[in-house]
Chain A
Amino acid sequence: MSHYIAITEAERAEMLQSIGISDVAELFAGVPESLRFPHVELPAPLSEIELRRILTALSNKNANASTHSIFLGAGAYNHFVPSAVDQILRRSEFYTAYTPYQPEISQGTLQAIFEYQSLICRLTGMEVANASHYDGGTALAEAALMAVASSRNRRKVVVAPSVGPQYRAVLRTYTQGSDLQIVGDERPDATLDDVLALVDNTTAALVVQNPDFFGTLHDLKPLAERVHAAGALLVAHVDPIALGLFQTPGEADVDIATAEGQPLGVGLSFGGPYLGIFTCKSKYVRKMPGRLAGATLDIDGKIGYVLTLQAREQHIRREQATSNICTNQGLMALAAAVYLSLMGRQGLRKVAELCYHRSHYAAQEIAKVPGYSLIDQGAFFREFVVRTPRPVAEINAALRDRGIIGGYDLSNDYPHLGNAMLLCVTEMNSKAEIDDLVQALAQI
């Protein structure tokens, strides 16, 4: 018997006896003989000490945020995760809780979701937030589908090329096989004005990102006006940290706003789990996908929390539901709620200010290094584009040798920029780290 499996031989024998068989092998009688118990080459079992040694060695092959300076963003950001987040997440009541189908026994989970939704509404200035999606990309794809469902049979979605390439790919994954047209990003160098010109009375939505993939900040208000004039909806993918300082989608009259919530106390975690933030105007709430926690009163007049407006969802509406999502990213939503509660409005603003100022300092210093130049991108937040003298892959390899993880190589997705890197600076990058980066670039 393995010491990892908590059952004794005696217990096993007892269980077998109570169901009337003598050997576990008899349970597989329904599997064709030739397929039973195939020979599998597995190494011998390891003790916990040996196991730990091997896994630690594997893990040490990774370069990570605690061993390297990170200047890579492009959708996943190295922001600070306060210890309190983990302390609360690891409470087994939250860690092991399942979807709250029965409100009577899920008040803790439901209240946590409700608080998360409320905080997200405050952060984005939007009227309604749902219980979350898997990540920013799927949230954005669902937003586009919701805009189509809310339109009167409009089948075109216009998307700006400055929306992240991975997000646009996810959008196309979601719409493949349908008759929806996704247009606007055929030319990677198209501007927002070029893309706006495609919005007409067959357009369900214009999809933009703010700050965009390059870190550039945009005023979404005039965009919203022009999109609404064509009878279409404005879908904006925003950044939660930037919202500590800059224009919220609510202020800009955006119809559906999504975001990647990873910067809010979730950490990098090698790509996931992340957090899909989803909000909209209340007039569209009945077409909104996902779970929705609501507050109500029980028969004694006490506050209780429930999943509400369930008639939108697939288990009731079936093929006419806007979406087939029937879950949320509960634990990560809790992390975001804890983070936002800890930081508060002032704290979040401080984080945003640090990101803003440090990224501008870095940009200014890098521009002084021969061979490196900035593009004319206007106001930016946390990320910016740098033209490099040699291919980004070479530069990043050299930086890795110096314990620095460099920026995102833009040459594949945006070839018109030539050799160019998307550099990210957060509150986790000290001035000393930035100076080291600049020095390294000068030396390479």
Chain B
Amino acid sequence: MSNIPADLQYTGSHEWIRIEGEQATVGITDFAQAQLGDVVYVELPEVGASFDSGANFGVIESVKAASDLYLPVAGEIIEVNSNLDQNPDLVNSDPYGDGWLVKIRVAQGIGALMSAEAYSKLIAESDH
């Protein structure tokens, strides 16, 4: 069973977001890391780069796949997880904690995000 923390919000492309005031932290879900397999590399944006809601902000690479990462809400990158350089496996072992990808300053409003419950339904449907 996939771990889906109730206090986070989710996208249909399997990112999670923790919004705290004007800032937010973004990562990929437990379901996503399991599907990807061992993560070998994460291509992260530069601090200061801005993205629209749903824009491609990076790439996550496993041995067998390379997946684009989409920002759940519009924002400006204020920090990237530099530990992933040496330890990309943190995404697999702790996707909601030490495996976080970027921290952003949220640009305007909240985009179309899913609750933990809605996300849980989504992956249940795709998990045949």
Contacts and interface: CB of A to CB of B under 8 A. Distances in A.
Interface of A: 286, 311-312, 316-317, 320
Given A311-B62, A316-B66, 5 more contacts: A311-B61, A311-B63, A311-B64, A317-B66, A320-B68
A306 B66 CA distance: 19
B27 to A, nearest CB: 20
B115 to A, nearest CB: 31
A316 B60 CA distance: 12
A311 B60 CA distance: 10
Nearest to B49: A152
A290 to B, nearest CB: 16
B110 interface: no
B43 A311 contact: no
Nearest to B41: A286
A316 B36 CA distance: 13
A317 B64 CA distance: 10
Contact of A316 (B40, B41, B64): B64
A316 B59 CA distance: 13
B2 to A, nearest CB: 24
Contacts of B43: 286
Contacts of A316: 64-66
10 contacts: A311-B41, A311-B62, A311-B63, A311-B64, A311-B66, A316-B65, A316-B66, A317-B66, A320-B66, A320-B68
Tell me if B's interface is mostly helix, strand, loop or mixed: strand
Closest 4 CB pairs of A and B: A311-B66, A311-B61, A317-B66, A316-B66
Contacts of B63: 311
Contacts of A286: 41, 43, 61
Chain B interface residue number, banded = 10 to 19
A317 B61 CA distance: 10
A65 B68 CA distance: 53
B92 to A, nearest CB: 16
B69 to A, nearest CB: 13
Contacts of B41: 286, 311
Contacts of B40: 311
A311 B62 CA distance: 8
A330 B66 CA distance: 26
Contacts of A317: 66
Contacts of B64: 311, 316
A100 B116 CA distance: 44
Contacts of B65: 311, 316
A312 B61 CA distance: 9
A219 to B, nearest CB: 33
A316 B63 CA distance: 10
A362 B64 CA distance: 56
Contacts of B68: 320
B35 to A, nearest CB: 14
Contacts of B62: 311
Interface in B1-58: 40-41, 43
Nearest to A312: B66
Interface string B77-104: 0000000000000000000000000000
A286 to B, nearest CB: 7
B55 to A, nearest CB: 14
B57 to A, nearest CB: 14
Contacts of B61: 286, 311
A149 to B, nearest CB: 12
Interface in B100-117: none
Nearest to A318: B66
A248 B61 CA distance: 33
Q: A286, A311, A317: which has the most chain B beta carbons within 10 Å? A: A311
Q: B41, B61, B62, B64: which has the most chain A beta carbons within 10 Å? A: B61
A312 B64 CA distance: 10
A286 B66 CA distance: 11
B68 to A, nearest CB: 8
B62 to A, nearest CB: 7
Nearest to B62: A311
Q: B40, B43, B66: which has the most chain A beta carbons within 10 Å? A: B66
A320 B43 CA distance: 13
Contacts of A312: 66
Nearest to B60: A311
B118 to A, nearest CB: 29
Nearest to A286: B41
A71 B74 CA distance: 64
A316 B66 CA distance: 7
Nearest to B46: A152
A356 B96 CA distance: 63
